[in-house]
Amino acid sequence: MWRHCNVGTVPGCQGARPWRALAVTALALLAGTAAPACVLVFGQGRNYDPDQPERNQYWDTANGRFNLAVREPLVAAGQDVANMVLPVAATDVPANLKRLMAEVKRLGCTRVLETALFADPAAGVVIARLRLYPVMGIAGPQAAGSHPRIGAVAYTLQREFPLRGSALDRVDSELLGRAMAAEALPMLAPSSDARGVVSAPSAAPAR
């Protein structure tokens, strides 16, 4: 039968205090791992044209607003979220990946949610896209000299709009970001292992 053990008054309880300390430490470690892992919402525009600085600024602004709006439903759901957005002029892909991985490692994020809002002139559409990637090599014990890496795409959510001046001007990147993030939210649970692709043409969210 178990009994309450007071180290100061009950014989045979001298070893209780170390065991109690170990139990408290174990509970603290378990509590620490129960917290939701960080998700890095990473965005960058496309369509860079060195001869059109105003257009580049347009896409930078639209992608920045889209990226920050995606954050809102995640934070409201209790996710630990960090944001990172690169300008359209950052066209050095290896350097961009290096910056991304440095931020992932610094923050300890186990997922990257990529946001992108860009034009595809060949297809005649504007594309709004979310892509979820797992980060491998962050959680758990790490081998000496190992580095985190981005895994295969786990989930994609994409919306397309006609590439026309009037339609493009009506796209509300903030409203669109919040709506798409809310739709993708079930896939962002740390315990979710679901995979999928959702892609459909959409009417532009009105301003």
The answer to whether position 143 is within a domain reads yes
The answer to whether position 153 is within a domain reads yes
- pTM given for the model: 0.73
- The token duo for 42 is 């990473």
Q: How many domains does the chain have?
A: 1
Return d(Cα 5, Cα 20) in angstroms, integer. 11
pLDDT for the residue numbered 140: 53
**Residue 4 confidence (pLDDT) above 80:** no
pLDDT for the residue numbered 79: 95
Whole-Å CA distances, 112 to 131, 133, 179, 199, 201: 8, 5, 19, 19, 25
Cα dihedral sign, 121-125-129-133: negative
Domain residues for the domain of 43 are 36-201
Q: What is the DSSP letter of 140?
A: S
Q: What integer best gives the mean pLDDT of the chain?
A: 78
The answer to whether position 151 is within a domain reads yes
Q: Which residues of 153-164 are buried (b: 16+ CB within 10 A; e: fewer)?
A: ebbbbbbbbebe
The answer to whether position 25 is within a domain reads no
CATH assignment of the domain containing 141: 3.40.50
Q: What is the pLDDT of residues 71-91, one digit of tens each?
A: 999 999 999 999 999 999 999
For the beta carbon of residue 69, count every other beta carbon within 10 angstroms: 21
Return d(Cα 29, Cα 24) in angstroms, integer. 9
